[in-house]
Amino acid sequence: MKFSSAKLALTALAATASMLATPAFAGKTLDAIKARGQVVCGVNTGLAGFSAADSSGNWSGLDVDVCKAIAAATLGDATKIKYVPLNAQQRFTALQSGEIDVLSRNTTFSLTRDGSLGLHITTPTYYDGQGFMVTTKSKIKSAKQLKGQTVCVQSGTTTEKNLTDFSRANGLNIKPVVFEKVEAATGAYFSGRCVAYTTDASGLASVRNKEAKNPDEHVILPELISKEPLGPMVRRGDDEWFAIVKWVVYGLLEAEEYGVTAANVDQMKSSTDPVVQRLLGTTEDTGKLLGLDKEWMARAIKTTGNYGEIFERNVGPKSALKLPRGVNNLWNKGGLMYAYPIR
């Protein structure tokens, strides 16, 4: 039997529609999460603004809010999380071994990490860059003035390699003073053992705010010497879980772009905007394509707010860190944050 090109096209469209209507296979990671009733999230041992626990053991920060949004989307409850604090050396092993489901720990995306660790990078939740902090009394105004100076740095990080590359490229002969734990590196800097301390600029702001006796006595130099896109990572081998983590972040960005907030999410369910309708599950059920229900994103937004709310609360100009939105603004406001369309 011969088919016309029109019939073939209609057959292809029908097959596509059929695939779109089919709920996604949940994947072994989501199955395990549902069975235990918890998302196990790897976080920093303590980085104000990103992931830190208070004296009562309550975790907060931008990376923590990403974990909460994932838990709300998948389990319907943002409190169903086990936080596993990890240092730089522990973080990848914990994810590779299955000790954690997702690593949301101010971790830089790079080719080496994506291609050689058996892990997937997802999507950036914070665009950063490596900088330097010095004391105001040092009179140092530029990173180029660190020639021959000691710089405290944590080992096992992209920061350590970037420091070496920067020093060599500029003929500075910087003398790294390396520590396994970030607390040791910052402690050495504040005790005067090093002229400068280097890490991501957001981390410098966090450390200055949290650990300096007088934050005004320390200045973050203007140069950034690297690109440090930070975001969650997952294990390879479970594409369904990889998709869920990515799309939760995209949903938080899309919510900001279309004005959906923690406070108005229920009200916005009556919106006539097709994008908002899809985002909140009032028309199309996008959740079934991820192995979730149709309320998955509405719950996440109601729990943490949209990306802008998360940024403002944890690291923005009105927070303790007072970081400008800068490149972490939405794409239509001059930034780099761009959500793939939820449709």
Q: Which domain holds residue 139?
A: 130-226
Burial of 219 (0-12, 13-18, 19+ CB in 10 A): middle
Which pLDDT belongs to residue 3? Answer: 46
Residue located via tokens 């892990």 = 119
- The DSSP string of 189-254 is HHTTS-SEEEEEHHHHHHHHHHH-SSGGGEEE-S---S-EEE--EEETT-HHHHHHHHHHHHHHHH
pLDDT value of position 24 = 60
pTM, full prediction: 0.88
Residue 106 within any structural domain of the chain: yes
Q: Are residues 218 and 255 in the same domain?
A: no
Instruction: Confirm whether 12 is domain-assigned.
Output: no
Residues 69 and 199 reside in one and the same domain: no
pLDDT at 302: 98
Q: How far is Cα 260 from Cα 306, in angstroms, rounded to an integer?
A: 7
| pLDDT at 156 (0 to 100) | 83
99 and 242 belong to one structural domain:
yes
pLDDT, averaged per 10 consecutive residues of the chain (343 residues), comes to: 48 46 73 98 95 96 98 98 95 98 96 96 97 97 97 93 96 97 95 97 94 95 95 97 98 98 98 97 96 97 98 95 94 98 95
Residues 135 and 106 in one domain: no
Give the model's pLDDT for residue 11: 47
Q: Give me the helices (H) in 227-331, please.
A: 239-257, 265-268, 274-280, 296-304, 307-314
